[in-house]
Amino acid sequence: MFSKFKIFWRMLRRLSGDDAYERYLRHHAAHHQDETPLSKAAFFKQWQDEKWNGIKRCC
Amino acid sequence: MNNLLKNSIWILVAALGAAAVGGIALNRGESINTLWFITAALCVYAIAYRFYAVWIAATVLAVDETRATPAERLDNGRDFVPTNKWIVFGHHFAAIAGPGPLVGPTLAAQFGYLPGTLWILFGAVLGGCVQDMVTLFLSTRRDAKSLGQMARDELGALGGTAALIGTFAIMIILIAVLGLVVVNAMKHSPWATATVSATIPIAMIVGLYMRSFRPGQVLEASALGVVLLLLSVAGGGLIDHSETLRVWFDHDGLTLAWWVMAYGFAAAIMPVWLLLAPRDYLSTYIKLGTITLLAVTIIMLQPTVKMPALTQFIDGTGPIFGGTLFPFVFITIACGAISGFHALIASGTTPKLLSNERDIRMIGYGGMLLESFVAIMAMMAATVLDPGVFFAINSPAGVVGKEAVDAVAKISSWGFPVTVDQMRLLANQMGEATLFARTGGAPSLAVGMASIFGSAFGESMLALWYHFAIMFEAIFILTTLDAGTRVGRFMLQDMLGNIWPKLGETSWTPSVVLTSALVVAGWGYFLYIGVIDPNGGVNILWPLFGIANQMLAAIALCVATGILVKSDKIEYAWVTGLPLVWLVTITSSAAWEKIASDNVRIGFFAAADDLAEKLAAGVLPPEKAAVAPQLIFNQHLDGWLTLFFVTLLWLIVFDMLRVCSRYLAGKPVLPLAESPHIPSCLVEDWVRD
């Protein structure tokens, strides 16, 4: 029961982008170790601007 | 043994589905339970998903699960990210399901429940789902390229340009008609206006919260926003009951239309984080929550459908929009059956997240099935109302008369009895002054939802449910409106950038202001005309939107059919070819009627001539004579616009046929733009958490 809730919570965070920064840090650690990662606020700013560049909503 | 069991289960599903569809189709005169619709829908979807979609994925497209997707190959941790299939499904569904599948079926209910229901079911499984899935597949194989780019690469410059113009045109018409739906829901309704206005500061609070106060805490901020939204529904009621406050929010349609335009302009030039992004979070949660709630209550309560299977309006005399069953039911219900707009999401956006080609069936085909189910629920919410009430809410004053007495007399004379007292009581229960002539679908859907929720959770909260439903529709209509204006702005900047590069800079303020103003002026014009039109602009705008949307679907299916032929799969080209033929047939015949019909309620030019004659003869009442020149000009414009859409459609069909016949004759054509096969090395456990 508890583990089901955990999966649901993880899905919800993933779907909403709540964990976007954590995923970014993981990606950064894996691929760009030589550079310092963006701060959470700076990353979020960029992430949100990029997300809305293009057709994202339909009728 | 196991196989035998499986087969017999599927045979049972098929038999049940056939019985339910047959029951719906052959039922005459007796009321029919909504459970029949749900059973029919679920069985049809299950069979189609299990057999047709599997066959298309395996045989026609030959999806290859060993092949790396663009998300894997181009993984940049931002837009290209291999993602769990349920997450991709969620994103995809949230992106494709807007207000369209709620509005279209409600309007089409004027023909009775049967035509719309059958079109939603079979249009989706044979057309819409196929289009979405095939487009998703083709874009996945082409580095997540957009539909326009694929059209250019595979068919040529003509196809690419047509897709671009089509997208821009549909955006303008779509926003105008959605704006009109919101305006009709808010006019002289202080409660609805106050609640809908409150969503703007609420979105800004949420935006500021997740940008500055607690950066990136999306869920926290959204939870706060949802609570505030629910409070705003109740708060609207308090405003409505206060004599001093309610006048602030009591406006006629035209004033509200100007406000909607001002809002659209502001939203397009404001940074996305302040308004657009937070509003979208809220609308997504409210949308998913409400749709789930609606499904659960319909399944629990199984209300009875009161609308007949077919009404006399299949002959084209319907009050909500003029036009015969064929082709207008197919134009009226675009979203929910087949929607060209989805091809823009299925190409470019969703493929960037797809971790494995095998998920294409679930996301492309399955996502559209779910949207089709939303449309079925909207159809049910409209048809469980008394037909008299349904027509009283949706018929424009220009058709049934301005006075309540005239309207009920006219509607009752059609055989759908309704009384002034009944409408007054209903309006009173819903906390509104009147529900007459609220054309557009949102209010009648809200009444339907409120009565369904009311019988589940108690009648005392009807007014709250009604305004919750209005808020629910308005919030994502406004999201579509500002997201659409923004996209329109980018496209316009892109086009103008070819003429003067400085205008193409998306961060240069004069260009941003100019292009945003141009886009708002584009849809604002149609919204304005729709509001001043005494016959209710929905009659004009919705068919125009349907034609534009189906034209975009036809472009997507042309690209798909062309690629199938070029990939030596001509024996399977009917999979996209047949829906294409059907779309071209309905779009062309609807366009032909809108252009050439001499019925003033259908033909644009006929309506213009009729109005001009009446104006010249001086028989128009003064308030109508004042706007007549504008209406005449607009009818001409709409006629030419329809002609333009249908010409564009035929151009791209011929272009596709040209490419196919050249290929089949062995002459050189543009090569397939598929990216090379690179084996996937994703560790499934890691990505598919």
**Dist CA B88 CA B266 (whole Å):** 31
Q: Determine the distance in angstroms separating the CA of A2 from the nearest CA of chain B, rounded to an integer.
A: 16
CB contact under 8 A, B273 and A53: no
Q: Determine the distance in angstroms separating the CA of B516 from the nearest CA of chain A, rounded to an integer.
A: 15
Q: Residues of A with CB below 8 A from B484's CB?
A: 57
For the cut 90, the answer to whether the pLDDT of residue B578 exceeds it is: yes
DSSP-derived 3-state class of residue B638: helix
For the cut 70, the answer to whether the pLDDT of residue B684 exceeds it is: no
Q: Determine the distance in angstroms separating the CA of A34 from the nearest CA of chain B, rounded to an integer.
A: 16
How deeply is B405 buried, as exposed, middle or buried, from its count of CB atoms within 10 A (0-12, 13-18, 19+)? Answer: exposed
CB contact under 8 A, A59 and B81: no
Report residue B686's pLDDT band, with 50, 70 and 90 as the boundaries. Answer: very low
Q: Closest Cα to residue B92, out of B287, B329, B342, B448?
A: B342
**Dist CA B175 CA B549 (whole Å):** 12
Task: Evaluate the omega torsion of the peptide bond into residue B303 and state whether it is cis, within 30 degrees of 0.
Answer: no
Q: How many CA atoms lie within 13 A of B617 on its CB side?
A: 8
Cβ-based neighbour number of residue B190 at 10 Å: 24
Q: Determine the distance in angstroms separating the CA of A36 from the nearest CA of chain B, rounded to an integer.
A: 15
Q: With pLDDT > 90 as the criterion, what percentage of chain B qualifies?
A: 73
What torsion, rounded to 10 degrees, do the Cα atoms B375, B380, B385, B386 define?
A: 110
Report residue B149's pLDDT band, with 50, 70 and 90 as the boundaries. Answer: very high
In a domain, A47, yes or no: yes
**Dist CA B286 CA B222 (whole Å):** 10
In a domain, A35, yes or no: yes
For the cut 80, the answer to whether the pLDDT of residue B385 exceeds it is: yes
Tokens of B171: 């955006």
For the cut 60, the answer to whether the pLDDT of residue B494 exceeds it is: yes
In a domain, A56, yes or no: no
Report whether B579 contacts B557 (CB < 8 A): yes
For the cut 70, the answer to whether the pLDDT of residue B688 exceeds it is: no
**Dist CA B58 CA B383 (whole Å):** 39
In a domain, A12, yes or no: yes
pLDDT digits (tens, 9 = 90+) for B613-634: 999 999 998 888 999 999 999 9
CB contact under 8 A, B480 and A59: yes
- Give me the residues of A, 8-47, that contact B with CB < 8 A: 10-18, 20-21, 23-24, 27-28, 31, 40-41, 43-45, 47
Instruction: Confirm or reject contact between A55 and chain B (CB < 8 A).
Output: yes
Q: Closest Cα to residue B345, out of B135, B169, B501?
A: B135
pLDDT value for B687 = 46
CB contact under 8 A, A45 and B273: yes
Q: Closest Cα to residue B354, out of B682, B675, B53?
A: B682
CB contact under 8 A, B100 and A28: no
Q: Determine the distance in angstroms separating the CA of B168 from the nearest CA of chain A, rounded to an integer.
A: 11
CB contact under 8 A, B91 and A58: no
Q: Determine the distance in angstroms separating the CA of B4 from the nearest CA of chain A, rounded to an integer.
A: 33
pLDDT digits (tens, 9 = 90+) for B174-227: 899 999 999 988 999 999 999 999 999 999 999 999 988 998 899 999 999 999
Report whether B129 contacts B48 (CB < 8 A): yes
In a domain, A27, yes or no: yes
For residue A59, the chain B residue with the least C-alpha distance is B98
Q: Residues of B with CB below 8 A from A20's CB?
A: 216, 218
Mean pLDDT score, B621-650: 93
**Dist CA A4 CA B110 (whole Å):** 45
For the cut 50, the answer to whether the pLDDT of residue A3 exceeds it is: yes
For the cut 80, the answer to whether the pLDDT of residue B683 exceeds it is: no
- Interface residue of B273, B280, B523, B542 to substitute, partner A, most A CBs within 10 Å: B273
Q: What is the ipTM of this complex?
A: 0.90
pLDDT averaged over every residue in chain B? 92
For residue A24, the chain B residue with the least C-alpha distance is B77
For the cut 80, the answer to whether the pLDDT of residue A14 exceeds it is: yes
Quote the pTM value.
0.94
pLDDT value for B152 = 93
Lowest mean pLDDT among B313-317, B362-366, B476-480, B528-532: B476-480
Mean pLDDT score, B542-571: 94
Angle made by CA atoms B540, B542, B546, in degrees to the nearest 5? 125
Q: Residues of A with CB below 8 A from B483's CB?
A: 52, 55-57
Tokens of B470: 């209005």
CB contact under 8 A, A23 and B81: yes
How deeply is B589 buried, as exposed, middle or buried, from its count of CB atoms within 10 A (0-12, 13-18, 19+)? Answer: middle
Mean pLDDT score, B497-513: 88
Report residue B1's pLDDT band, with 50, 70 and 90 as the boundaries. Answer: low
pLDDT digits (tens, 9 = 90+) for B70-112: 999 998 877 788 988 999 999 999 899 888 999 999 999 999 9
In a domain, A57, yes or no: no
CB contact under 8 A, A57 and B95: yes
Q: Residues of B with CB below 8 A from A41's CB?
A: 211, 215-216
CB contact under 8 A, A50 and B78: yes
Give me the residue from B90, B210, B483 closest to A15, CB to CB: B90
CB contact under 8 A, A58 and B95: yes
Q: Determine the distance in angstroms separating the CA of B348 from the nearest CA of chain A, rounded to an integer.
A: 9
Give me the residue from A21, A52, A59 closest to B276, CB to CB: A52
**Dist CA B89 CA B672 (whole Å):** 28
Phi and psi, residue B31, nearest 5°: -75, 150
pLDDT digits (tens, 9 = 90+) for B393-423: 999 988 899 899 999 999 999 999 999 999 9
Q: Determine the distance in angstroms separating the CA of A8 from the nearest CA of chain B, rounded to an integer.
A: 11
Most confident of A39-48, B32-41, B283-292: B32-41
Domains of chain B: 2-188+251-664 (1.20.1740.10)
For the cut 60, the answer to whether the pLDDT of residue B642 exceeds it is: yes
For the cut 90, the answer to whether the pLDDT of residue B514 exceeds it is: yes
For the cut 90, the answer to whether the pLDDT of residue B356 exceeds it is: yes
Give me the residue from A13, A24, A58 closest to B342, CB to CB: A58
List beta partners, residue B679.
B67
Q: Determine the distance in angstroms separating the CA of A11 from the nearest CA of chain B, rounded to an integer.
A: 7
In a domain, A46, yes or no: yes
Q: Determine the distance in angstroms separating the CA of B334 from the nearest CA of chain A, rounded to an integer.
A: 10
For residue A54, the chain B residue with the least C-alpha distance is B487
Mean pLDDT score, B54-79: 92
**Dist CA B640 CA B635 (whole Å):** 9
For residue A23, the chain B residue with the least C-alpha distance is B77
For the cut 70, the answer to whether the pLDDT of residue B551 exceeds it is: yes
For residue B216, the chain A residue with the least C-alpha distance is A44
- Interface residue of B218, B276, B345, B491 to substitute, partner A, most A CBs within 10 Å: B218
For residue A39, the chain B residue with the least C-alpha distance is B215
Range of the domain at A9: 2-51
**Dist CA B621 CA B618 (whole Å):** 8
DSSP-derived 3-state class of residue B679: strand
CB contact under 8 A, A57 and B483: yes
* Structural domain total, chain A: 1
Instruction: Confirm or reject contact between A4 and chain B (CB < 8 A).
Output: no
Chain A to chain B, count of Cβ pairs less than 8 Å apart?
A: 112
Report residue B2's pLDDT band, with 50, 70 and 90 as the boundaries. Answer: confident
In a domain, A43, yes or no: yes
pLDDT value for B271 = 87
Q: Residues of B with CB below 8 A from A40's CB?
A: 215-216
For the cut 60, the answer to whether the pLDDT of residue B689 exceeds it is: no
